[in-house]
Amino acid sequence: MRNAALFALAASLLISGALAWAKKPKASPAPTPASSPLAKPPLAADPLVTATPLAPAELEALVKRGRVLYQTRCVVCHGHDPKEPGTLGPEVHGASRELLEARILHESYPPGYVPKRSTRAMKPMPELASGIAALHAYLNARED
Ligand code: HEC
């Protein structure tokens, strides 16, 4: 009897430990200089997360493409200056890659993100999947 109770206790501890581990938010990796031997391999085939930094000309081209995408697909609601609120949408300058992906592709938000607006006016644009990196580069560029 006593053994059975101990076993049940051990099992429940194991399960709750496993659950806590599974729920633990993934820590975002600390930025590691690409030259460091500790630099991690690229997370995805994305120029912004590869270990090799983009050449200035490549980054400039990406920002340019993002600006064109923004002006054709976002400006109508978010306005010309991403740092200011637009007619419908809030300011989006500095948006993270995760936020853009969640919002543009899946009509959602990253876990734990507090949206700037509680409305649901922005519809998903899955056709922009290949433009997320460019939009991210544009919305996070030092000079707009
Ligand atoms: C039809 C108008 C409309 C268009 C077009 C639109 N948005 Fe939005 N967007 C909104 C509105 C309104 C919100 C606030 C939440 C909602 O109502 O969906 C929003 C929210 C967002 C957010 C989340 C802001 C936050 O921090 O809470 C991001 C990021 C964003 N938009 C980026 C974009 C980008 C990038 C584009 C272009 C590819 C775009 N939006 C196109 C209207 C629009």
pLDDT in tens, 65-76: 999 999 999 999
Q: How far apart are CA 77 and CA 134, in angstroms?
A: 19
Q: How far apart are CA 26 and CA 133, in angstroms?
A: 22
14 lines ligand 1 (CB under 6 A): no
Q: Per-residue pLDDT for 26 more than 70?
A: no
Q: Is 130 exposed, middle or buried, given 0-12, 13-18 or 19+ CB atoms closer than 10 A?
A: exposed
Ligand 1 atom 43: residue of nearest CA = 122
Cα of 123 vs centre of ligand 1, distance in Å, is 8
User: Which fold, 41-111+121-144?
Assistant: Cytochrome Bc1 Complex; Chain D, domain 2 (1.10.760)
The tens digit of pLDDT for each residue in 91-118 reads 999 999 999 999 999 999 999 999 999 9
Q: How far apart are CA 81 and CA 17, in angstroms?
A: 47
In this prediction the pTM is 0.72
71 lines ligand 1 (CB under 6 A): no
Q: Per-residue pLDDT for 48 more than 60?
A: no
